Amino acid sequence: MFANETSHAGEAVRLPLRYVLGSIVGLWFCYFLLITARGSLVGMELESDLLLRRTLVCAVGAAVTFVIWLILRLFDASKTWLKIVVALIISLPGAVMIAQFNQFIFAEFQERMYQKFAEERGVSLRRDEAGNLLVEIPQPRDWQVTRDTDSEGVNGDPDQEPMYTFTLEEAKEGLGRWLPIVDAALSRYYLLLTWAALYLAMLAGAQARAAERRGERFRSAAKAAELQSLRYQVNPHFLFNTLNSLSSLVLTGKSDRAEEMIQAMSRFYRHSLADDITADVLLTDEFELQKHYLEIEELRFPERLRTEFILPRPLESCRIPGMILQPLVENAVKYGVAPVNRPVTITVSADEEFDRLVIRVADDGPGVPKGTKPGFGIGLANVKDRIEARFGRDATITAGPVADGYVTELRLPLERKG
């Protein structure tokens, strides 16, 4: 992943310097290898002086490419067509500079190569005053041609063999002097455009990843806001019911039980408000929170409410949304305990089935009240919305009557504490 591509929304995405330098060095290193391989194929020896000069040309090329990047990066936030136009324009003078340096640094070496070629073939090379490159070949005496030199020798010296001279390379004049540079510049121009295309492609990839991360942050923020809103719906509902119960205890003169309820409420809220309200909590902490809640309800129904918690030790470190069980346990008290005069047991249990965390809130009460249809009230709808916002389709909730009461079941992805 590209680091430091962007810091805040709206800022231009920057490609890290190490990737820019890596692409520049890689480009010119490949160029060095290709030119060296081509020279070996055409018979050029790998002389240290030749390799040194070629290295200097590549170094200058890399420096020019870096300057092109300094200019091109000013347009990182611009439209693609503008970046392409800028690359086409600024690469042209860069290619000419590299071509001129290449001609300058290899001029002496080229003359040496000419001389070496001439020595190997027994001829001589020289340049005249006009700059033409001349080849002088010893002329056999049996040649029946018009000689430029004296028939008895060179400069009247009969012991010096006559020479035949012809032009190997004419001196460039006018626009012709620029043709070699133009030819060399075109190949370098293509090379610089290749790097510019590579840079723009890497930049486009970085911008796409940055946009994806921004979108993910926005989606996460929206989901957190939704979870927070749903979580806030739980606390007022529970507080309203508890205050009603506390008021009833006070009005009936049961001050001792009212004091116990206040202390139980204090423990409950101290536990429930300890963490971020949108954060996941350990399953063992969620079970402990529901124990505090049912302690309060036991003060309301001392003769009727019984509780049982079943949490296998391997599942204690699983993580679930905080207070996700609160509406389920409240419903069990409201519909399972409150309507009857006999003891009712509320069982909160957890299990692992097929790599899923299964949490059940069950009671052996009367089940669905008469005249009502099983379904999702405010509390269950709240839980359904929360788990969908948190897990998407990976979580489900079901609720309905069973032979001995009523069961609400949550199936969540199994996420353990990291």
Hey, what's the torsion of the CAs at 345, 351, 353, 359, to 10 degrees?
60
**What pLDDT, on the 0 to 100 scale, is given for residue 326?**
85
Residue carrying structure tokens 């005069």 = 341
* Domain assignment of residue 240, yes or no: no
Residue 359 placed within a domain: yes
Domain assignment present for 205? yes
Whether 95 and 185 share a structural domain: yes
Tell me which of 200, 233, 266 is where a domain ends.
233
Co-location of 390 and 258 in the same domain: yes
Residue 373's domain is classified under what CATH number? 3.30.565.10
> Are 61 and 99 members of one domain?
yes
pLDDT digits (tens, 9 = 90+) for 296-311: 888 778 889 999 999 9
Residue 137 falls within a domain, yes or no?
Answer: no
Helix, strand and coil percent figures for the chain, each rounded to 5:
55, 15, 25
pLDDT at res. 227: 55
* Residue-level pLDDT at 151: 42
Q: Six-digit token pair at 216? A: 């993910």
Residues 265 and 229 in one domain: no
Q: For residue 248, is it within any domain?
A: no
CB 359, CB 325: distance < 8 Å: yes
CA 111, 116, 119, 123 dihedral sign is negative
What confidence score (pLDDT) does residue 9 get? Answer: 41
Kindly tell me the sign of the dihedral angle through the C-alpha atoms of 389, 284, 275, 281. negative
User: Looking at the DSSP assignment, which residues form a beta bridge with residue 34?
Assistant: none
Pairwise CA distance, residues 183 & 177, whole Å? 11
* pLDDT at res. 252: 79
> Do residues 219 and 335 both lie within one domain?
no
> For residue 345, what pLDDT is reported?
96
Cα 68-64-108 angle, rounded to 5 deg: 160
Which pLDDT belongs to residue 161?
57
Residues pairing with 318 in the sheet = 416
Q: How many CA atoms lie within 13 A of 108 on its CB side?
A: 5
- In angstroms, the CA 346 to CA 353 distance is 22
Residue 152's pLDDT is: 44
Q: Which helix (H) or strand (E) holds 320?
A: strand 319-321
Note whether 259 and 382 are same-domain residues. yes
**Could you tell me which residues come within 8 angstroms of residue 394 by beta carbon, excluding any fewer than 6 positions away?**
412, 413
Q: Which two tokens stand for residue 96?
A: 């000419």
Q: Are residues 300 and 195 in the same domain?
A: no
| Residues 16 and 88 placed together within one structural domain of the fold | yes
Identity (one letter) of the amino acid at 236?
A: P
Report the DSSP pairing between strands 396-402 and 319-321. unpaired
Q: Which residues contact 393 (CB under 8 A, 6 or more apart)?
A: none
Residues 265 and 353 in one domain: yes
Is 155 within a domain? no
Q: Coil, strand, or helix at residue 125? A: strand
Say yes or no: 33 and 116 in one domain: yes
**Whole-structure pTM over 0.85, yes or no?**
no
- Residues ≥6 apart with Cβ < 8 Å to 401: 367, 368, 374, 407
The tokens for 81 are 């067509």
What is the model's pLDDT at position 77? 83
Residue 99 in domain: yes
User: What residues are paired with 163 via a beta bridge?
Assistant: 138
Please identify every stretch of the chain with a pLDDT value under 50, giving residue numbers as ranges.
Answer: 1-10, 145-156
Stated length of the chain: 418
Helix (H, G, I), strand (E, B) or coil at 161: coil
Q: Are residues 214 and 333 in the same domain?
A: no
CB 356 within 8 A of CB 418: no
What type of residue sits at position 111? E
User: Would 140 be classed as within a structural domain?
Assistant: no
260 and 185 share a domain?
no
Count of domains forming the chain = 2
Domain membership of residue 185 as a residue range: 1-120+177-233
Q: CA 294, CA 299: separation in Å to the nearest integer?
A: 9
